[in-house]
Amino acid sequence: MIETFYSKDWQDYELLDTGGGEKLERFGPYTFVRPYQDAVWPKTLEREWDNTDGRFVTSREEKGGEKSGKRGWKFFRKIPERWEMSYKGIKFYAFPTPFRHLGFFPEQAVHWDFIEKAIKHPGEARPVRFLNLFGYTGVASLFALRAGAEVTHVDSSKLSVTWAKENEKLSGLTGMRVIIDDCLKFMEREVKRGNKYDAIIMDPPKFGRGPKGEVWKIEENLAKLIELAKKLLSAHPLFVVLNSYATDSSSLSLGYALGDRVKCGELCLPEKSLGRLIPLANSAILKW
């Protein structure tokens, strides 16, 4: 059975409305319009869409019957380069990136809750070794760190890892081990070293490149990623979380790949305008 995973506890973020291939969101004091191609329905709000701080324009958008050829942010007011956000006491920076993201994925807050709770209550007194693959700016790592885990955070982007360390400092935490590397190569070396982890979260992109130009394609590399993750699990694991933003993937497919005892579903955000749950990613959770 496919489930919906979402948090009702956001204060600094809101999904205000969706429609017309876009979503209207509040990040702290600022509102933005970003593409959301699945929103094939009409918009509900009116004035709010015309009174935003910025909008991400894609190259597919047409002006006067022709493709604009431009892709990136268009700002209507002056905003800071970055600003502070928080979720349940964990602090991190928001900032508009060239990839339409703002430094974190608010729909993953439900996973942050799950990670912290699972690590705090492992059922026995032992240190939990937590591995965050494709870790981006590290918000999930911070919740694991606060829960008392030994955290290893891996991403191929030096800039993302730098942001993760800045978020760690902002939250007043220390001890996160950060590694700039191609995730598959890192995992292969960890298997050879005999290193094991009790909890793993993986958030692979549809397409990406490693620090040495390694090419990642989810349709070609996902099976190997899961195979290596299983080899890295300890004798008494807690969980494996796998997310996918690939539009042609399915949460059921992710679940079948992980194996038995898997909860499959969609990462969602509650929409303020009509109260609907808006799906944004597929997810599968393997829990012991």
Mean pLDDT of 81-91: 98
Mean pLDDT of 82-101: 96
Q: Which two tokens stand for residue 139?
A: 């918000």
The structure tokens 């990040």 sit at 27
| pLDDT over 90 (residue 123) | no
Give all domains of the chain, ordered by start, each with its CATH number. 98-287 (3.40.50.150)
The sign of the torsion formed by the CA atoms of 102, 107, 111, 116 equals positive
Mean pLDDT of 144-149: 97
The structure tokens 């496919």 sit at 2
Range from 6-10, 69-73, 152-156, 165-169 carrying the lowest mean pLDDT = 69-73
| pLDDT over 60 (residue 163) | yes
Mean pLDDT of 29-47: 96
| pLDDT over 50 (residue 150) | yes
| pLDDT over 80 (residue 42) | yes
Burial of 73 (0-12, 13-18, 19+ CB in 10 A): middle
| Angle subtended at Cα 115 by Cα 37 and Cα 178, rounded to the nearest 5 degrees | 85
Mean pLDDT of 241-252: 83
